[in-house]
Structure formats: structure tokens, C-alpha cells
Amino acid sequence: MKTIYKYTLSVCDNIELITHEGAEILNIKIHNVTDLIIYALIDTDKPYVTRKFACCSTGEDISNKNLKYIGTFELGNAEKSVGHLMEKLEPMIIGQKGTEKCYPKYAPHIITRSILYSI
């Protein structure tokens, strides 16, 4: 079944998102200053994979990184910091070991997600 999920993660340098293979990220937003909301079109019939992302600052050197731009967000702090979500183009299948600093706030099967509508 194709549907749209909402994932809530913490804003940090490195993020891992467990989602279905081939998930298409539709939009990103910030909520409550530190929560990164990702809306993705997913197919629940596909297997789970772990995708890696990086939050980069404006002006940060990313020339030696294999990254794909996803979107830009503005934190609601006093400085109005701007960040850019980039996907690391080395997908990791569940079961492989990683050393990321930041993980989804909830277990993979109960990551905060809302089904907005089904296709």
C-alpha cells in the first residue's frame, strides 16, 4: 500500500531514518525548535532500510561528502539559524553496524508517524 508517513526526529549532525525502501521525501519542517519533521511517500509492501542524513549549515564545506540536497529549514531560535538536510548517498540495510550520533526518537516500528492519506 502506498501512503504518506510523518517521521519526527531530532535535529543533529547525523541522522538515521528507518523507512521503507524507495521512500520519496516530500517535505521537511521544524517543530518545537529541535524536532525535524520528514514527510515521505512510502510503499508499505517494500522492505525496511536505514537511510542516513546530515544537517549542514550554510557556508559549511561539503565538497568531500557524497550528499544529495533534500531541503532547507529554519530553526525557531533567537538567531534564526538555517540548516540544510542532505542525504548521505550510501544506503545502509538494517542489520549493518553504524556509528551515527543521532537516531529517531522512537523504536523503528513506532517512530512518530501519521498516515495523512493512502494512495
Q: Which mean pLDDT values do the consecutive 10-residue runs of the chain (119 residues) have?
A: 90 84 93 85 93 88 86 77 86 44 38 42
Look up residue 30 and give its three cell numbers: 521544524
pLDDT at 47: 93
What are the residue boundaries of the structural domains of the chain, listed by start? 2-107
pLDDT at 92: 46
pLDDT at 14: 81
Predicted TM-score of the model (pTM): 0.70
